[in-house]
Structure 1
Amino acid sequence: MRAVWLFVLLLAALPARAEEIVMGLSKDNVSISTDFDGSEILIFGAVKREDPIRTEPPLQVVLTVAGPKTPVTVWRKERRLGIWVNTEAVEVDAAPSFYAVATSVPWREAISAVEDLRHEVSIPRAIRSVGAPMEIEDAQVFTDALIRIRERAGLYQLHEGIVTLTESTLFDAAISMPANITEGRYTIRVFLTRDGAVVARHSSVIEVRKVGLERWLFTLSRNEPLLYGLMSVAAAVLAGWGASAAFRALRSG
């Protein structure tokens, strides 16, 4: 009987049913065509709950959009004999081709360092460990360099405070994807946090695919590399001949 009462007391001490996320996307796929100049995804949703809204600590939202992960070799360049050459290199085990993070409040208020480590939310955490030779002591510098390069290209993004959260229930945010994204499966994650701790999470996937001429050329380059190379050379020759003919015509005119 005592064990039963202990069990009842334990049940009473458990937190109320956690909040759940209902998420929607403005599109299920992104098509990359010859005139593709980027795309925007609207991520929206609601917090489903049975109990009254808790106001303290306040609810926050963090969302991420991640492209396919691939290994990346990062080189260090040094000036030798008047020219820049590659010297040391570090292999990054897996880095997302595209990664965006958006929050409803400044980053430090949105999620704790422990939860970031656990769920790999921030850009540095989304990049897996670096396999560096033992003689390279500053391997983290290579990862930082990769992040800076992709930030400048618009492929890595941190948007603090752009997630709109209404009455701790409705949320939405728009993420812009640049023209230089790669195709593949993109994972979208939404986290609900309170006082930096994750209380609920949800994920979804969209497909990014080349279509039309872009798809045909991509497939040809993979399946028929020789033919693709010959076509590329022929196109370059024709372009050069056309430019030369146009220049001669202008000079003679």
Structure 2
Amino acid sequence: MRARAPFAWLGAALVLGASLLPGVVRAERLIVSVSNHRVTVTPNYSGEELVLFGSVERDASTPPDRTSYDLVVTVSGPRVDLVTRRKERKFGIWVNVDSRQFLKVPSYLAVFANRPFDAMAAPDLQRRLQLGLNYVLLTQRVGPDYADVVASDPFRSAFVRLRSEHGLYREETSAVTFLTPTLFRTSIPLPAEVPIGSYDVEIKLLANGALVTKTDTAFEIVKVGFEQFVANSARQEPLLYGLATVMMALMTGWLASVVFRRD
């Protein structure tokens, strides 16, 4: 037992030394929260807007010349596989001539900032931190390979445009407001057709063109009431759900024939 004592003291010394390293101590940290961590979807749901708010907590090691910050908030919904198709008009009709599959991409994606990305970071840092829709990783199946492509790729730009038209992809560079030099807020709009599931929120703090720190939070969107009952039935009892659907269709058709029957 005594022989192990020097090693115990050595381990304690290493831990203490690591805690004193400059890279371990952070000059700032983010404290954030959202106004609602559980959004419920009912039959009359028409969309909602959450509010993310927080503060930058400084300490004695914060550089005195660091008086202003930049903030980027990225909200991503459940990941799914989606397909974008290219159509051409042939013989008077529109037909699909090519397609591209997007793998495990966010079904909802929003990027908010307090000012344009070019004003807060160099292009290399924007790409590395995935600041903005142009740099968010959207993996695709390109022939036998899996990769992302440049933002100007026709399939990628069409995919982002179509999702944006439904309010499911968005980018706003004046959406984050600093109420004081360290207090901030932004709104997260959720459209009526927002997907059900868990949502991740990543907040990046930058200063003088460099990343200072980052943190994250989350919220979820769930169905309640009759819609939740139907969704659970379809998932847990698919056979009974299918039979019930057929019976309801038959009953609806019979009732319509009785109501609109001509004597």
**Shorter-chain TM-score: which interval?**
0.7 to 0.9
Equivalent position of 1:201 in the other structure? 214
Matching of residues 147-166 of structure 1 within 5 Å? 147-166=160-179
Number of equivalent positions? 238
* TM-score, structure 2 normalization: 0.78
- Alpha-carbon displacement from aligned partner over 1:143-201 (angstroms, at most 9, x marks no partner): 11111111000001112212111332000011110111111210011111123322111
Find 1:88's aligned residue among 88, 98, 108: 98
Once the two structures are TM-superposed, the CA of residue 93 in structure 1 deviates from its matched residue by 2.1
Q: 1:236 to 1:169 in 2, by over 3 A?
A: same
Equivalent position of 1:4 in the other structure? none
Moved over 6 A (4+): 11-16
Gaps of at least 5 residues in structure 1 are 1-10
Find 2:46's aligned residue among 19, 22, 37: 37
Equivalent position of 1:103 in the other structure? 113
Gaps of at least 5 residues in structure 2 are 1-19
Equivalent position of 1:190 in the other structure? 203
Matched, 1:169 2:178: no
Once the two structures are TM-superposed, the CA of residue 232 in structure 1 deviates from its matched residue by 3.2
Whether contact under 8 Å (2:81, 2:103) holds in the other structure is yes
Q: Quote the sequence identity (%).
A: 31
Mean alpha-carbon deviation: is it higher for 221-230 or for 48-57? 48-57
Once the two structures are TM-superposed, the CA of residue 68 in structure 1 deviates from its matched residue by 1.3
Q: 1:163 to 1:228 in 2, by over 3 A?
A: same
Three-state SS of the structure 1 residue aligned to 2:234 is: helix
* TM-score, structure 1 normalization: 0.81
Q: 1:14 to 1:223 in 2, by over 3 A?
A: closer
Matching of residues 1-253 of structure 1 within 5 Å? 17-51=26-60, 54=64, 58-133=68-143, 140-240=153-253
Q: 1:126 to 1:228 in 2, by over 3 A?
A: farther
Once the two structures are TM-superposed, the CA of residue 12 in structure 1 deviates from its matched residue by 11
Once the two structures are TM-superposed, the CA of residue 241 in structure 1 deviates from its matched residue by 5.2
Looking at structure 1, the residues matched to 143 and 96 of structure 2 have their Cα atoms a distance apart, in angstroms, of 16
Whether contact under 8 Å (1:103, 1:110) holds in the other structure is no
